[in-house]
Structure 1
């Protein structure tokens, strides 16, 4: 039995979605919901240029604290079994995996809601700093307005 119902990994290394999914499987919960985010071809606020790379920086201790608190919030809101979060940092090329969030639960609705909640907060509130680049152009990325608006649905 796990000592805590969530695990968080922040790494420069790629991850295996199949192994992460399998690690959430158990006979007590019948629902597993996952999200995997990848580096897109088109970047910029309106997808106005083709990206050559994405650089993600972070402050490890702060990220671990924020993500742990986020997992605790999800566990207090929904009846869920396990949460797994993997987030990559460093230089990432187009098409590479950035983030994995997986949630197990006895009921699919709880798992979907918790996974959606975690992604909304992770995207807007976790202390990861992203820089998009195209050849000699680059800029730091802020949370999008649409992401901020999505976050408001959890105010209750």
Structure 2
């Protein structure tokens, strides 16, 4: 069992049960999945950029990334339907817990001038999305081998009903929200 998952099951879950006074243990919010997405607009012209991003996202996630393709043609962006525009991966179970552990305890502390994650990324249903400007904060990425830094979105889908429950869950897991 992953360290963060063990912490959740033994420590955080009973605290959440007590704090929100749930009637059933099934009401306790839990992180269901983590979705990683790299959108590369100029990837439609440069196939090597998409392949590099896919390989790097696979390294970060520990699971093979999938190429995302354009749904509509947009002439202003020189984009046709079906052209590659990014890559994505969805993590569940043990890979999700190990990624969250790595994100919270290794990657975020490596961000220069880090003052915390803004809490405005909640969607009203307890899910949280955050953006990272450089994927180089992850230890798997070799700085000598990358051509340019890429940004990524990280979405944590929870079973929480409200943003307050979701924020409490993520705070107890160790998410460093701004004060």
TM-score (normalised: structure 1): 0.27
The higher radius of gyration belongs to 2
Q: Which of the pair is proportionally richer in helix?
A: 2
TM-score (normalised: structure 2): 0.24
